[in-house]
């Protein structure tokens, strides 16, 4: 171990020991923490070119634990790198492989905006802080360390297992597409388990409310809206202005509410979550489950960032680009509009809605990505039983629920490729404290150490002799 890691660990030991059991000081706990700290401190955001550093480090850890180099690949997709690790089974089950998904890249983070350095793992009495601490270096570290743990314990699975870590899930998903559509060995898997979504919801009092298994995802689609103008000298303003015209379009999009959508799965999710959560918000969830046309209930859920995406399609402006000089009228202005589309709604229908809402033929629409529509993965009994065993070992009475993800993950492409995929993160935390993609991302220290057995329980149940 490096001296810096030992020093950090020394500072963290009181946190590990307080109110905990000996498991938190085990070899597995220390290795998981070491991997977590190392990869969080590698800035693998878009355009840094650091994904290979993460992949190489993880590969070296696995090789040191006894994985043959021949079973570890780092395929390139342009300048991007993925990581594929085969845990060879004895074939005694006669079953197809299982994939374990994660992604090594993170969203950009600007140090000047953060209270703590985003690419240094820091902590207080409650949280670990840093970009990727939840999304998704938590999952990558826990899965990698679990493979190492099982290998050192001499575990031989009854089928092949694969770590499949993409390199650009947060941007173009080029590596994801390659892994899902260009690797027949992976596409023949019986199913995939994703570390990048799902997980347990805790109330403000720390009580477990539900454990959520992601079985479906909204369609991810992005448009650039652009207004052009002849421009001119800033001392001679025109009645038409590219920035003003674009701002009017943005205001119209902000004010528009897409119609309420629902499925049996989302209604059941709200019913059970509402019963467990209680209070005024819980009552709104139950009312929505009883009658999705209840406008008061849907309006109440729409103001909750954790739940609005489960009730409808959402579109939001995420970036702006305009003008070319401070003393010149803008010749163009562009807004990036990111939409998360309810399953079953074509992206073309959303674009037509946005055009109607903007109501300005001078606003040009350009789709940035081909929309990826993916099917629902109906939950199967063996997966539910394995995840239940892992979850109930920590929270015996919590109910497990399939749900639809408001965001998008690598899972959408694997589902589309014919591999049923469920996201079953090991994290339990309050959804109001989820700062993935935002400032000061963090994960509860308790959640990190409580998750240590999650994946090994699942793997032994699904692939044990």
One domain for residues 282 and 139 = no
Residue 144 lies in a domain: yes
Structural domain contains residue 402: no
Mean pLDDT along residues 350-367: 97
Same-domain status, 7 and 145:
yes
- Using an 8 Å Cβ cutoff, are 16 and 127 in contact? no
Q: Could you tell me if 260 and 319 lie in one domain?
A: yes
pTM, 2 dp? 0.85
In the numeric block, which tokens belong to residue 178? 């390659």
Which has more confidence, 384 or 13?
Answer: 384
Which structure tokens are listed for 453? 């057995």
C-alpha torsion angle, residues 169, 171, 175, 176 (rounded to 10):
50
pLDDT attached to residue 19 = 37
Query: For residue 273, what are its two tokens?
Result: 């979550």
Give the pLDDT score at 239.
Answer: 93
- The CATH number of whichever domain residue 64 belongs to comes to 3.40.630.10
**241 and 135 within one domain:** no
Least confident residue range of 163-167, 346-350, 373-377: 373-377
Q: Is residue 425 part of a domain?
A: yes
Q: What percent of the chain has pLDDT over 70?
A: 95
**346, 367, 388 — which closes off a domain?**
367
Alpha helices in 256-346 (DSSP H): 264-277, 279-290, 295-302
For the chain, give the mean pLDDT: 93
State whether 58 and 161 are in the same domain: yes
Span 43-60, mean pLDDT?
96
- What are the pLDDT digits (tens) for 158-187? 999 999 999 999 998 999 999 999 999 999
| Residue that finishes a domain, picked among 317, 336, 367 | 367
**Confidence class for position 434, pLDDT limits 50, 70, 90:** confident
Q: Would you say residue 452 lies in a domain?
A: yes
Task: State mean pLDDT over 434-444.
Answer: 90
Secondary structure (DSSP) of 20-38 = --GGGGSHHHHHHHHHHHH
Answer whether residue 20 shows pLDDT above 90. no
Together in a domain, 320 and 413: no
Whether 290 shows a pLDDT value over 50: the answer reads yes
Within the chain, what is the greatest distance between any pair of CA atoms? Answer: 80
Rg over CA atoms, the chain? 23
Same domain, residue pair 284 and 430: no
Domain that holds residue 95: 3-197+408-463
Q: Are residues 193 and 233 in the same domain?
A: no
In a domain, 55, yes or no: yes
Residues 111 and 20 in one domain: yes
Categorize the per-residue pLDDT at 17 as very low, low, confident or very high, splitting at 50, 70 and 90: very low
What is the pLDDT, as a whole number, of residue 435? 83
| Stretch 294-311: mean pLDDT | 94
- Asked if residue 114 is part of any domain, the answer here is yes
Residue 325 confidence (pLDDT) above 80: yes
What is the rounded average pLDDT of the residues 145-160? Answer: 98
Among 351, 367, 383, the domain-final residue is: 367
Q: pLDDT tens across 78-132, in order?
A: 999 999 999 999 999 999 999 999 999 999 999 999 999 999 999 999 999 999 9
pLDDT at 1: 41
User: Which of 124-133, 209-218, 368-377 has the lowest average pLDDT?
Assistant: 368-377
How many domains are there within the chain?
Answer: 2
**In terms of domains, do 279 and 323 share one?**
yes
87 alpha carbon, distance to own chain's centre: 24
Per the CB < 8 A criterion, the answer to whether 424 and 386 are in contact is no
Q: How many CB atoms lie within 10 A of CB 424?
A: 26
The answer to whether residue 65 is domain-embedded is: yes
User: What is the model's pLDDT at position 402?
Assistant: 94
CATH code at position 332: 3.30.70.360
Lowest mean pLDDT among 64-78, 173-187, 397-411: 397-411
Question: How far apart are alpha carbons 327 and 91 in whole angstroms?
Answer: 71
2 has a pLDDT exceeding 60? no
**Secondary structure class of 462 (helix, strand, coil):** helix
Is 91 in the same domain as 47? yes
Are the C-beta atoms of 429 and 444 separated by less than 8 Å? yes
Instruction: List 401's β-bridge partners, or say none.
Output: 212
Query: Does residue 210 belong to any structural domain of this protein?
Result: no
Provide the 3-class DSSP secondary structure of residue 206. coil
- Counted residue by residue, the chain has a size of 465
Is 50 in the same domain as 127?
A: yes
Q: Are the beta carbons of 415 and 377 closer than 8 angstroms?
A: yes
What is the model's pLDDT at position 172? 87
């Amino acid at each position: 171990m490096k001296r810096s890691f030992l020093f950090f660990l020394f500072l963290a030991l009181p946190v590990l020991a307080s109110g905990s059991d000996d498991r938190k000081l085990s070899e597995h706990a220390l290795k998981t923490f070491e991997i977590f700290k190392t990869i969080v401190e590698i800035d693998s955001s878009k355009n840094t070119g650091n994904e290979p550093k993460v992949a190489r480090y993880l590969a070296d850890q696995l090789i040191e634990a006894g994985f043959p180099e021949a079973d570890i690949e780092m395929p390139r997709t342009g300048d991007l790198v993925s990581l594929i690790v085969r845990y060879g089974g004895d074939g005694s089950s006669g079953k197809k492989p299982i994939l374990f998904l994660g992604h090594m890249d993170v969203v950009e983070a600007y140090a000047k905006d953060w209270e703590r350095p985003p690419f240094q793992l820091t902590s207080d009495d409650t949280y670990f802080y840093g970009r990727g601490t939840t999304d998704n270096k938590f999952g990558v570290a826990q899965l990698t360390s679990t493979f190492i743990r099982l290998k050192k314990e001499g575990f031989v699975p009854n089928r092949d297992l694969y770590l499949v870590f993409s390199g650009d899930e947060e941007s173009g998903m080029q590596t994801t597409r390659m892994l899902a559509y260009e690797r027949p060995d992976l596409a023949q898997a019986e199913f995939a388990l994703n570390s990048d979504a799902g997980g347990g919801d805790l109330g403000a009092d720390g009580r477990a409310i539900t454990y959520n298994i992601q079985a479906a995802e909204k369609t991810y689609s992005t448009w650039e809206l652009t207004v052009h103008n002849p421009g001119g000298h800033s001392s001679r303003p025109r009645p038409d202005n590219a920035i003003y015209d674009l701002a009017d379009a943005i205001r119209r999009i902000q004010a528009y509410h897409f119609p309420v959508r629902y499925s049996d799965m989302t209604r059941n999710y709200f019913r059970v979550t509402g019963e467990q959560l209680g209070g005024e918000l819980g009552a709104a969830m139950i009312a929505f489950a009883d009658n999705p046309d209840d406008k008061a209930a849907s309006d109440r859920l729409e103001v909750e960032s954790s739940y609005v995406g489960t009730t409808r399609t959402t579109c939001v402006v995420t970036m702006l680009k305009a003008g070319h000089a401070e003393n010149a009228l803008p010749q163009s202005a562009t807004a990036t509009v990111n939409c998360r589309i309810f399953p079953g709604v074509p992206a073309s229908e959303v674009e037509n809605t946005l055009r109607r809402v903007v109501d300005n033929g001078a606003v040009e629409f350009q789709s940035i990505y081909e929309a990826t529509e993916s099917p629902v993965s109906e939950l199967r009994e063996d997966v539910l039983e394995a995840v239940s065993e892992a979850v109930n070992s920590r929270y015996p009475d919590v109910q497990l629920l399939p749900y639809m993800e408001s965001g998008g993950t690598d899972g959408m492409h694997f589902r589309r490729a014919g591999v049923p995929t469920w996201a079953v993160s090991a994290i339990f935390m309050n959804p109001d404290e989820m700062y993935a993609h935002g400032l000061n991302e963090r994960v509860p220290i308790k959640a990190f150490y409580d998750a240590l057995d999650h994946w090994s329980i699942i793997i032994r149940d699904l692939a044990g002799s």
